[in-house]
Structure 1
Amino acid sequence: MPGLVFRFKRRAILRSFIERPRIYGSEHFHQLLEQRARENLVRAVGAGLLSR
């Protein structure tokens, strides 16, 4: 898969995680990791880290 296609598809997948009401299905992991995971996703997509 060419790099440009990979980056485009990866960005779309990560955005789909951001748009979900919850990333983690279990209450335990939702409480423990949800906020940090969302921050990391937003930072990765917003900072263009996927465009390298």
Structure 2
Amino acid sequence: MALGIKVLLAYLLGSVSGSMVIGKLRDVDIRSSGSGNAGGTNAFRTQG
């Protein structure tokens, strides 16, 4: 049972894009700036 919960939490955590979270915290939609990609490289380029 504990393993199932860990797997579920790992899946949910892995499905969240870190660059989208950083963008939300800084009130910036990174998908509309830079290359338009929601990846970490675009987040670093546009938000420093």
Same fold (TM over 0.5): no
Pairwise TM-score range, normalised by the shorter structure? 0.3 to 0.5
TM-score using structure 2 length:
0.38
The structure, 1 or 2, with the larger RCO (C-alpha pairs under 8 Å, 6+ apart) is 1
Over alpha carbons, which structure has the higher Rg? 2
Question: Which structure dedicates a bigger proportion of its chain to helix?
Answer: 1
